[in-house]
A and B are shown apart, each in its own frame.
Chain A
Amino acid sequence: MSNAQRPTAQVGPGGSASVGGVDPLGGPAFGPPSAGGAGPVDDAAPERRVAAWRLLVANPVTVAAAATLAVVVFVALTAQWIAPYGVNEVDVAGALQPPSWAHPFGTDDLGRDILSRVMLAASTSLQVAVVSVTFAFCVGVPIGIISGYVGGWLDTVSMRVVDVMFAFPVLLLALAIVAILQPGMATTMLAIGIVYTPIFARVARASTLSVRTEPYVQVAQTMGTPWWRILRRHVLPNITGPLIVQTSLSLAFAILSEAALSFLGLGIQPPQPSWGGMLFAAQGFVTQAWWMSVFPGLAIFVTVLAFNLLGDGLRDVLDPKQRTRMEARHR
């Protein structure tokens, strides 16, 4: 509180002096220090805000994560043209070659170039992860928010349905969906999306329940705000923290789920490569050809890590308290 005098000096003339006939000694009783806990804010005169993207860019970790993702997306889009070998170029004589100049990531049991396959798989794996998680988010979050906010029988019914979906093992549920529809990429996305929907519904509902009772939501109700507006303006922004964490986690698990489905022959159909599919194919060769599992695994690891770090950076910028601190540092 040592620097408390500075901001209060700014506050004084506008606010305190003219009101109520009490002279608060030029400010200290009126300004931030008396708020109890307004602490670090006092250093910053936050009259001029810093744009959100500037704060994102100011964080080197976030920038690195975004750059990594950009590279992954670029590779996914252009893999057909920049991959050194064809994705299904079989060369049985050159099978299970360790990394070399000709094949930087080595070759697999059919002699296919692993670097080329990892590059081409990027497109498949990213699509599956992003589309299925987007589906789960867009379906699950509204269900969760509405049932949490409205409550009553709607909440009871939708949460029992969610419970039932949770009770099934994830893989079994996905298997059932794939079995009903034709196996393929679209079905895989849909199956993973449906399996992840209840998770988002649960997270959104739990957070909504705590936000719903906050006085600022009651204030909005007393001024006649329509319910959908309260949900969009007050509830959704205040539950973004847990949702972002859940999204970045789910992206990672979606890539792995796709791998599991592909392994059972129900996901991406060979010979179309996917990171998960390559990992599973490499299982039998772990002792002979470590490169078969390490490089697709590394691709998953790097992508998932980048998603998580970018999510963390976003969450910090979206949280007003963190933002004040970041803005102070920025200046």
Chain B
Amino acid sequence: MNVLEVADLHVSIGRTDIVRGVSFALEREQTLGIVGESGSGKSMTVLAATGLLDAPGARVGGSAILRDDRLGLARLIGASPKALRRVHGDAIGFVFQDPSTSLNPLLTLERQITESLEAHRNLTRRAARTRALDLLSAVGIPTPENRLDAYPHQLSGGQRQRVMIAIALACDPGLLIADEPTTALDVTTQAQIIDLVRDLQEQRGTAVVWISHDLGVIGQVADDVIVLQQGQVVEHRPIVELVDAPAHPYTQVLLAARPRLGGSPPPPVDDSGAVLLDVANLDVRFPVSTPTGRAQIHAVRDVSFQVRRGTTLGLVGESGSGKSTIANALTGLVRANGSATLEGQPLLGKVPRDRRRRLAMVFQDPFSSLDPRIRAGDAVAEPLRVHRLRPGRHRERVAALFDLVRLPTAFASRFPHELSGGQRQRVSIARALALEPDLLILDEATASLDASIQAQVLGLLRDLQQELALTYLFIAHDLAIVQDMSHDVLVMQEGVAVEYRPAGELFADPREEYTQRLLAAVPPERPRAARSGR
């Protein structure tokens, strides 16, 4: 029996078609994965199909029919707001990407969970509270009776997402919509949430629509997959078939671009083993003001490492492990204790400006790391102006740098918002290379790019390392891309360096329990369905 049937769904805003003729059906206990890169219309498809789309000027065509045990048949497209309200939260539950913003910070967990129970089931406060308690323990929140009166800020990101799932499941919906539910979470937390949803689905027979840009995650959860490209379904097949024999070229690109464990970095450019960056006993504390007075966060605790010339050191860890703080300490953005030297010259404290030149940093977010009012060419020329280098010859240098990062020179006159994410990140890399630094710090430089773009930018970085004999400090949370890039790896956990070894050894035989956990949490190459024989 189909829970949801969507036929020939169209969405357009103005003259732009965003979703073009998507159809699918979903049975009980089945999971449909929807993959595609940003802008492919994944979220739009599902929001429109469930009657939640609230974009000004959007026109929705086609049909979506929900079959629910209690409510019977319900038309979701073109239904009245009142009819939709009866369905939302009762027959369809929703989990969205960012658990830190989708919970109301002013309400206790109990109030948030019982909201839909009171609206749809007319439960008394007491009955609803009992039900909320059951739900919290079902989603694996420890000591749920103490947590009912807690506020969202008292929970970690993973726990918040568990609460979101509890809210979505409060009325035992037949259909759960999960829109990138693990994208904002760390890998180990992501693995837990995936297991949780699968368990709950088996117990309750819920049908799930799981939207993600990450084929690795989809492989873990989905039975059938829809691949969306520019609002069109290019492939709709069982996950195992799709992974084993992708038919459409776009699917093949997506599969090839997916970061996978088992790669290896290019050979080091310089075999001499000379140490370029030497960091010893680095220690960073931040003062923070709390309601009870001043406190300190010990972000980096006594970390030491060395980066050899022409090699890449991968710095891995989950959010809050202190990896970005190390980068900020080296570039002088935060104050630190200990010592850090670049070829014997100290980097911490007051540093002459031309020593700053020797290391450059590329930040994570390609949208905000370029000044919106400065054209790409001027942004790349900026470091030259700051350091008064090659006066009068900036234009040639900028052209050469654009060439180096494989961007057309004509893009120099574009403003950042006129470039795509991958192009912007190339501009950031060109800017970092303008001063011919010895060391390039890449702080999650590809984390917010789509998989295929990420693969291209990583390829560019590998090529540049060979061409220019660069040394990288490569900060990332994704172990697969770290393995592709790094010669040595430093694993961080809560400010402490837990494991620091050559990459080959570390990936072959992780010694520390934390490293093993990180590795185990990386979605495997083969879909789960292939292993369990479903």
Residues of A in contact with B (beta carbons under 8 Å apart)? 1-2, 4, 10-11, 14-16, 18-25, 28-39, 41, 44, 46-49, 214-216, 218-226, 229, 233-234, 237-238, 318, 320-321, 323-324
Contacts and interface: CB of A to CB of B under 8 A. Distances in A.
Counting chain A CB atoms within 10 Å of each CB, the highest count among B353, B413, B418 belongs to: B418
B50 interface: no
B17 A218 contact: no
A29 B431 CA distance: 23
B365 A215 contact: yes
A20 B17 contact: no
B55 to A, nearest CB: 12
Given A2-B16, A34-B422, A320 B229 contact: no
Contacts of A216: 368-372
Interface string B38-53: 1100000000000000
Ranked nearest first, the 6 interchain pairs of A and B with the lowest CB-CB distance are A20-B459, A36-B38, A224-B356, A35-B420, A14-B408, A215-B369
Given A15-B426, A34-B450, A216-B371, A1 B457 contact: no
Contacts of B356: 222-224
B253 interface: yes
A14 B399 CA distance: 13
Given A215-B368, A218-B333, A324-B417, A34 B453 contact: yes
Contacts of A224: 353-354, 356-357, 386-387
B408 A41 contact: no
Contact of B460 (A19, A46, A49): A19
B435 A223 contact: yes
Given A29-B452, A46-B413, A221 B333 contact: yes
Contacts of B391: none
Nearest to A18: B406
B317 to A, nearest CB: 20
B458 interface: yes
Interface string B135-179: 000000000000000000000000000000000000000000000
A104 B365 CA distance: 63
Contact of A237 (B17, B373, B460): B373
B500 interface: no
A20 B418 contact: no
Interface in B15-41: 15-18, 37-39
A323 B435 contact: no
19 contacts: A1-B230, A14-B406, A15-B406, A22-B456, A22-B459, A30-B456, A31-B420, A35-B421, A38-B420, A39-B16, A47-B413, A215-B369, A216-B370, A219-B369, A224-B354, A224-B387, A234-B371, A321-B372, A324-B418
B422 A238 contact: no
A331 B231 CA distance: 29
Contacts of B435: 223
Q: What is the interface residue range for chain B against chain A? A: 35 or more
B210 interface: no
B455 interface: yes
B419 A215 contact: no
Interface string B273-300: 0000000000000000000000000000
Counting chain A CB atoms within 10 Å of each CB, the highest count among B353, B419, B457 belongs to: B419
Contacts of A215: 363-365, 368-369
Counting chain A CB atoms within 10 Å of each CB, the highest count among B250, B360, B415 belongs to: B415
A1 B316 CA distance: 37
Contact of A321 (B18, B39, B417, B456): B417
B257 interface: yes
Contacts of A237: 371, 373-374
B413 A35 contact: no
Nearest to B354: A224
Contacts of B253: 22-25, 29
B37 A29 contact: yes
Contacts of B332: 221-222
A246 to B, nearest CB: 19
A39 B418 CA distance: 9
A222 B367 CA distance: 18
Nearest to B378: A233
